[in-house]
Structure formats: structure tokens, C-alpha cells
Chain A
Amino acid sequence: MMRFSVFTYAAIGFAVLAAGAIVLPDWAMFLFAMALAKGLVCLGIVGMMRGGVVSFGQGLYYCLGAYTATLAANFLGVSDIFLLTLLSAAVCLLVGLVFGPLLSSYRGIFFAMLSLALSMVLYGSLSKMSFIGGTDGLNIGAPTFLGWAPEGRPLQTALYLYVVAIVVISGTLMRIYFDSEQGLITLATRDNELRVEYLGASVRNIMAYNYVFGALLGGIGGTIAAVALGHVDPEFAFWTTSGEFVFVAILAGYLSVPSVFVAAIILEMVRSFSNLYFPNTWQLALGIFLLIVIVALPGGLGSLVSRRKGDPT
């Protein structure tokens, strides 16, 4: 079979998603924008999952990114979305560079729980900081795009297209990274860490890289979610938020990048529709859906379409 380059796929992906800006009604465009923003966070988890570890605390970077953007907007007067994204990404990169090397020697449940502890430390601290809103959180105004300040539908469309662009760029970069030497060593680590070390690669370095990329993606996702919602609160770092990210990552599986965003959109739709039709039992619906996914799709959505050469499955 002829294989298209990753850039062709990226162009197709961008065209399909960008078409949403024309065809989607307002409510769906907001839902998709939120889903794609969260999908970015989940893409970071998937990157770690390829190495066999799952972060239960990605809410840390989601929240950190969201708060960085909000504080920059409220106290420094920055409203440009490109600048806000860059700022949050820089802050999350720094924090990721501190914790990445620390967490890189943990595996399995301990990696999950230590990352969870770090996100809960942020949650606990933010909840008690009354000068930045405490548990009520903060509002953030509408963003501007290089000096352009749209309102209403144009604002939503611009924000949506911005998310789509970031998603396509990050997705493409992550795909290239996954297929690179480093990315393939990550996959090998999943199978057998000790052998990888004996072959001369540093598993700790790889794990740290994957963690830092996860931090970056989490921060960018958090920024976009904050701007789209117009509000941030410490719940962004709460463990149930991180649990949903892990859920999306499991639903997507670690084989395919687009499936991460498809999974994020599915979760967001399941959530809003069960919210609409079973307002009192939407958690129940979500829980049953989650169980069905785990039982019926152990390899994730990606396993349905992706049969990449060289992949173990």
C-alpha cells in the first residue's frame, strides 16, 4: 500500500477539522474546542503510556497552564492568545524540567500516584490562596489574536481554528517524535526496560523527555481550556479531572495520534449528552461507558485502525 507522508495526513486532518468552523453550530464548536484542548493534555499522557507509565496527575499542567494564562491576563494585561500560550508553555516546561528527572525513575502505580500527589499539592495550594480566588477560581477575559479582538461567533470561530491549528501541529510533531529513534526506544521500554538499558539507551532520559512533552502539552491544553471557558478554578488540578484525561488516553490507546482527539471528542459528547438526557445519573452513564471501553477495546480506538509496521500488536 502506498503510504502518505505524515504531512499529508496533517493537511487532511487540518482540512477536516477546520471545516467544522463552517458547519458546526455554536454549542458544538465550543464542545469541540474544549475536547481538542483536553485532547492535547491526553496526547501527553499517551506519549508516556507508550513507555508503559500513566500519569494520574496531568491535571497539574492543565491547571498550571490555565492559571498562568489567567494570571498573565489579569495582572500583566496580556490578552494575546499566542503570547498567553507561549507563557503557559514556558512555565509548564520549567516545572516539567524540575519534576521530569525526579519522576523518571518511577514506574507503574508509583509513577501514577506520585504524579497524582503533585497535582493534588497544586490543588490544595490554589484552594487556600484566597488572593487569587481560592476554590472559586478566577475569570479570564476574551483573548485577542495579534491585535484583532473579535466578539461573538467570529471569536468562537477564531478560537476554534486556533485550537485546530495547535492540535494539528502538536499531533504532527508528536507523530514524528513517536517514529523517531527516541520514540521507538520508548516503545521498547514498554516491552522490556532492562533490555533497553543493556542495549545502551538511557531509559530514565527517555522517560524524562516524555514527561516534559506531556507537561508542555498539558500547559497548552490548559491555556486553551481557560480561554474557551473564561474561567479557571482549582478543580482543574483535582484528581477526577486527571482521571478523565487518563480515561481518554485509555480509550484512544497508544497506537495512533488522531484517535486521541477522536476519543476526547467522544468523551465530551458522551458527557454532555448524558448530562442532558440523564441529568442525575450522568456519572453512572460515564462509568458504564468506561467499563465497556475497557472490556471491549483493550488496545484502544487506535487498535481499530492502526496496524503500523513494526508495532508489536
Chain B
Amino acid sequence: MDLVATILVDGLIYAGWLFIVSVGLTLVFGVLNILNIAHGSLYAIGAYASASLVGAYFAAGGEAFPYGSYAALILAAILVAVVLGPLLERGLLRYFYGRDEVLNVLVTYAVFLILEDVMKLIWGVNPYFVYEPYTLLGTVEMGSLFYVGYDFAVIGAAIIVGLAVWLTLNRTQIGKVVLAVIHDAEISQTMGVNVKRIYLGAFMAGAFLAALGGALTAPMISVTPGLGVNVIIVAFAVVIIGGLGSVPGAAIGALMVGISRAASVHLLPEAELFIIYFVMAIVLVFRPEGLFAKTQARKI
């Protein structure tokens, strides 16, 4: 019984983190039709930026009100989105709209390689530690097990992010416009929608979510080079399982991957790395376009 509960809680925590990282990826793919490998770099930059900002916050006398460091985390993610979002979308990606999907993966792979080294140039290769925000929320006792409160805050953040993205897309006017652009950018343009701005906005939102994922993770780990390389590939698995471009799909994908990984960690540790891609392969065998993808007619 205890084991099942542990697996579920661990799985939920991991799923929450996964969802925050993946939902931005699926959003960007949905609107721009680009599967963005550089999403992993944005995640890593978010982690570095938040480590720097939180460090600066405490260096500037933040001990008096340590909860302010959470604002620093979110501010870091916003900064990354505002600086890098327009730079990447306006400066590079817009020249590749409508090109082959796989070619665009390679374009973002190039961006990923470039940003990997840019990060090393800015932040060096030594690890950064910002543990303060992680310990702030104390521990939660569940049966005989203790969990760090911050982990549950990440689940909370994931739920807020998920609801915010879903409500914005489905219940606001901007969201309706975005959906129209996803459906047909050309017709939307003739109807007076500023498609360029929608693309930019969607990419910045995606960049923000990637950086937020990194920023929230920074206190739980030591921030070192090469952070993004593993994250992106797991996020790919999540969005492919859920169906590219689907927000509920990303949530289900995150839950499936999160819980199966937690189960494997506890029951069969050798399969930890293996299980994520195994789940993805199985889902694709039965649902070739992911769980929530719209089926598309083939062109003659």
C-alpha cells in the first residue's frame, strides 16, 4: 500500500514538473508548427537566470523576507521570455515558417547548440546552488513518508499553468484568435488578425513556460552545463504521447510518463531511462499521432 502511494506521489511531482516544461513546447508547435529543440536551452537559461536572480536577491538583504525569492524565480522566467523570445522568433524562426517540419527541428537544433555555448560563456562551467526557496516551505508528512513542501508547490504551479493556458486559449478573445491562427493563418490574416504578433506572442509564452520550468527546478538541483539536453528529449516524449499541439494531451502525457518513471524507479531501477521512451513507443504504435491529436486527411 505504502509503495503504491509513494509511486503515485513521486509520479505526480515528476508529472507536474514535466507538464510545465512540455506545455510550452506543445503550444509553440500548435501555433508555429515548429518542434523546438531550443526549448531545452530556454529551460536551462531559465534555471541559470533564476539562480543568478535569487542569489542576487539574498545578497541584497533578501533574508528579511525570504519568500520574495519566489518572485525572483518568476521574474527570471519573464526576463528570459522577453529577451530571447523576440530575438529567436523575429530574428530567426520566422524565416522558416511553412518549411518542412523536420528541417525546422534541425534549425532549432542549431539554435540549441549555439545557446549551449552561450550559456557557458555567460555563466561559466561551475555549478550554481540556490537551495533557499526549496527549504522555505518545510516538509509534509504523509503516512510514514516525508516530502519537501516545495515539491507540492511545483504540482500547484503545474495546475495553475495548465488552467491558465487552457482558459486563455478557450475562454478569452485572444485565445479564440490564436485558435483561428492555428486553424488557418492565411484566412485569419485576411480577416484582419495580426498573425505576426500572434506568432511572437505564442513563442514568448512558450519561452516563458520553458524558462519557468527551469526557474522552478533550479532550487532543487545544482545548475550545471548540459541541463537542457536531457530535458528536451523527455519533453518531446510527453508532447508526442499526448499529441502535438494539445494542452490536455501534454497533461495526460506528463502523468503517464511521470507515474511510469516513478514506478520504474521503485520497482525496476534499471529501466528508469528506458521506460519513458518505451511508453512513447507503445503509445505511437497504437495511436500513430499521439493520444489527443486531430486526425488529418491525406492530400492527394
Q: Is the CB of A124 within 8 A of B280?
A: no
**Residue ID in chain B nearest A117 by CB atoms:** B277
Chain A, residues 97-138, CB within 8 Å of chain B (1/0): the string is 000001001101110111011101101110111000000000
Q: How many residues of B contact A (CB 8 A)?
A: 45
* Interface residue ranges of A190-211 to B (CB < 8 Å): 192-195
Which A residues are in CB contact (< 8 Å) with B271? 124-125, 128
- Given the known A-B contacts A194-B298, A194-B299, are A250 and B106 also in contact in the complex, defined by CB atoms under 8 Å? yes
Q: Is the CB of B281 within 8 A of A114?
A: yes
Question: Of B105, B117, B284, which one neighbours A110 at CB under 8 angstroms?
Answer: B284
Q: For the complex formed, measure the closest distance between the CB of A287 and the CB atoms of chain B, giving whole angstroms.
A: 3
* Interface residue ranges of B198-242 to A (CB < 8 Å): 229, 233, 236-237, 240
Q: Is the CB of A124 within 8 A of B113?
A: no
Question: Of B95, B105, B106, B113, which one neighbours A284 at CB under 8 angstroms?
Answer: B113
Which A residues are in CB contact (< 8 Å) with B109? 243, 247, 287, 290
Q: Is the CB of A239 within 8 A of B233?
A: yes
Which B residues are in CB contact (< 8 Å) with A105? 288
Q: Is the CB of B110 within 8 A of A294?
A: yes
Which B residues are in CB contact (< 8 Å) with A124? 271-277
Q: Is the CB of A280 within 8 A of B120?
A: yes
Q: Is the CB of B102 within 8 A of A283?
A: no
Which A residues are in CB contact (< 8 Å) with B95? 295
Complex: A280 Cα to B116 Cα, angstroms: 10
B101 at the interface (CB under 8 A from A): yes
* Interface residue ranges of B46-69 to A (CB < 8 Å): none
Q: Is the CB of B240 within 8 A of A283?
A: no
Q: Is the CB of A128 within 8 A of B116?
A: no
Classify the secondary structure of B's interface with A.
helix
Q: For the complex formed, measure the closest distance between the CB of A313 and the CB atoms of chain B, giving whole angstroms.
A: 14
- Given the known A-B contacts A124-B273, A195-B300, are A117 and B237 also in contact in the complex, defined by CB atoms under 8 Å? yes
Which B residues are in CB contact (< 8 Å) with A56? 102, 105
Q: Is the CB of A128 within 8 A of B272?
A: yes
* Interface residue ranges of A79-112 to B (CB < 8 Å): 102, 105-106, 108-110, 112
A281 at the interface (CB under 8 A from B): yes
B111 at the interface (CB under 8 A from A): yes
Q: Is the CB of B113 within 8 A of A123?
A: no
Classify the secondary structure of A's interface with B.
helix
Q: Is the CB of A109 within 8 A of B288?
A: no
Q: Is the CB of A290 within 8 A of B101?
A: no
B103 at the interface (CB under 8 A from A): yes
Q: Is the CB of B277 within 8 A of A108?
A: no
B114 at the interface (CB under 8 A from A): yes
* Interface residue ranges of B271-300 to A (CB < 8 Å): 271-278, 280-281, 284-285, 288-289, 298-300
A246 at the interface (CB under 8 A from B): yes
Which B residues are in CB contact (< 8 Å) with A243? 106, 109
Q: Is the CB of A109 within 8 A of B105?
A: yes
B2 at the interface (CB under 8 A from A): no
A140 at the interface (CB under 8 A from B): no
Q: For the complex formed, measure the closest distance between the CB of A86 and the CB atoms of chain B, giving whole angstroms.
A: 29
B244 at the interface (CB under 8 A from A): yes
**Residue ID in chain A nearest B289 by CB atoms:** A110
A180 at the interface (CB under 8 A from B): no
Complex: A14 Cα to B113 Cα, angstroms: 35
Would you list 11 pairs from A and B whose C-beta atoms are within 8 A, ordered by A residue? A106-B284, A106-B288, A112-B105, A117-B278, A120-B277, A128-B272, A128-B273, A239-B233, A287-B114, A290-B113, A291-B111
Residues on B lying within 8 angstroms of A by beta carbon are 35, 92, 95, 101-103, 105-107, 109-114, 116-118, 120-121, 229, 233, 236-237, 240, 244, 269-278, 280-281, 284-285, 288-289, 298-300
Residues on A lying within 8 angstroms of B by beta carbon are 54, 56, 102, 105-106, 108-110, 112-114, 116-118, 120-121, 123-125, 127-129, 192-195, 239-240, 243, 246-247, 250, 280-284, 286-288, 290-291, 294-295
Closest 4 CB pairs of A and B: A124-B273, A287-B113, A287-B114, A284-B117
7 further interface pairs, Cβ-Cβ under 8 Å (given A113-B284, A120-B273, A281-B117): A110-B284, A112-B105, A117-B278, A192-B299, A194-B300, A282-B117, A284-B117
